[in-house]
Amino acid sequence: MSSGSGAKKHALLRSFGFAFSGIRTTIKGERNMKIHIGMSIIVICMGTWLSLSMVEWLFIVLAIGGMLSLEMLNSAIERVVDLVTADYHPLAKDAKDIAAGAVLLYAMMSVIIGLIIFLPKIITLFH
């Protein structure tokens, strides 16, 4: 193994460290991320209890992963905008609002996915 590949391996490991640091930072500092994680835990518990199929789990995992990822991107955009300007600027407001809108849209889609998967199973339990 050449020293170049060792340096590349070290750089790759460092980049994973930075990514995990970003995840930790978002979980610790963002209220909405905590809410999304709490809801995700509830959904995972319900999915386990209701014995979701493999395909249903795939949709749930995509919804959860997408939601958490999008919340992190929203937080990053908010921080970059705040770093660039402390003053009110319509474009800064637009950037934050658009990112928040993307999160809201994905959250609504995730709720719809959850209803499609869980509602029939819950109705069956009560009949």
Residues identified as active-site? 71
Q: For residues 47 and 57, is the Cβ–Cβ distance under 8 A?
A: yes
Q: How far is CA 67 from the centre of its chain?
A: 3
Residue 48's identity, in one-letter code, is: T
Q: DSSP 3-state assignment of 126? A: coil
**In terms of residues, how long is the chain?**
127
Long-range contacts of 38-45 (CB under 8 A, 24+ apart): 40/64, 40/67, 40/68, 43/114
CA 99 – CA 105 distance, rounded (Å): 10
Q: What sign results for the dihedral spanned by CA atoms 104, 25, 83, 69?
A: negative
